[in-house]
Amino acid sequence: MATSNLKLLGMWACPYVNRAQFALKIKSIEYEFIEENPYNRSDILVTSNPFYKKIPVLIHGDKPICESLIIVQYVDDNWATGPSTLPSDAYDRALARFWAAYISDKWYPSPKLLREAQVEDEKTPLTEKISAGLLLLEEAFVKCSKGKPYFGGDNIGYLDIVLGSSLAWLKVTEIVVGIKLLDQDKIPTLSGWADRFCSDEDVKDVLPETEKLLELHEKIQAFVRDGSK
């Protein structure tokens, strides 16, 4: 579906931007992707998101939509093409939004803190927090999926997009720290879901490559180290 007046401001490695890309890809919506430098914000980004000045921003015509969770919902509400990503049942929608908020606000920051931790004593509590969160999400998957392949049922849905956007960076965290976090023995159902999600054709077109993310992580860490000298 061609949509010439649709632009997405973002950065290829940003998981929050990836959420918007997943939502648009699943709906087969074409858009112009404008690569942003988080350290040198463009005028269009500052104008479109003057309060936070953050990516992603979806610009539909002359209307900017900010924040990844809001963008994913906007795409689902505004375009009828492709499968709906939000559940049709009101309770299921509320449940998906609850877990999406948990992932974004409570769980997802911990992998970033873990791979950037400089002191060994900081790593153990962060690892435990991440693992405990994954066990909760294993339970949430069983409840939300109702025996189907995805949180959203037969197809990738809202909660799949939200959690799935973290998988590439979670893999980088495992490599950096040398710990298996998405452990098939401990969370077999969620591990199986992760494999299915990453193998989906729409997802593969968007999900950043682990090697490139690892290179980016090392460059960022080197920059931080040089700046602290």
φ, ψ of residue 4 in degrees (nearest 5) = -70, -20
Query: Do 109 and 210 belong together in one domain?
Result: yes
Helix (H, G, I), strand (E, B) or coil at 114: helix
Last residue of a domain, one of 78, 113, 138: 78
CATH of the domain at 40: 3.40.30.10
Distance CA(165)–CA(228), nearest Å, equals 30
What pLDDT is attached to residue 4? Answer: 61
Q: Is 158 inside any structural domain?
A: yes
pLDDT in tens, the chain (229 residues): 445 699 999 999 999 999 999 999 999 999 999 999 988 999 999 999 999 999 999 999 999 999 999 999 999 999 988 889 999 999 999 999 999 999 999 999 999 999 999 888 999 999 999 999 999 999 999 999 999 999 999 999 999 999 999 999 999 999 999 999 999 999 999 999 999 999 999 999 999 999 999 999 999 888 877 765 5
Rounded to two decimals, the pTM is 0.94
What pLDDT is attached to residue 226? Answer: 74
Q: Domain limits at 48?
A: 6-78
Nearest CA to 143 out of 108, 111, 180, 189 is that of 189
CATH of the domain at 172: 1.20.1050.10
Query: Do 48 and 112 belong together in one domain?
Result: no
What pLDDT is attached to residue 41? Answer: 94
Q: What angle do CA 118, 104, 120 make, to 5 degrees?
A: 15
Last residue of a domain, one of 49, 78, 107: 78
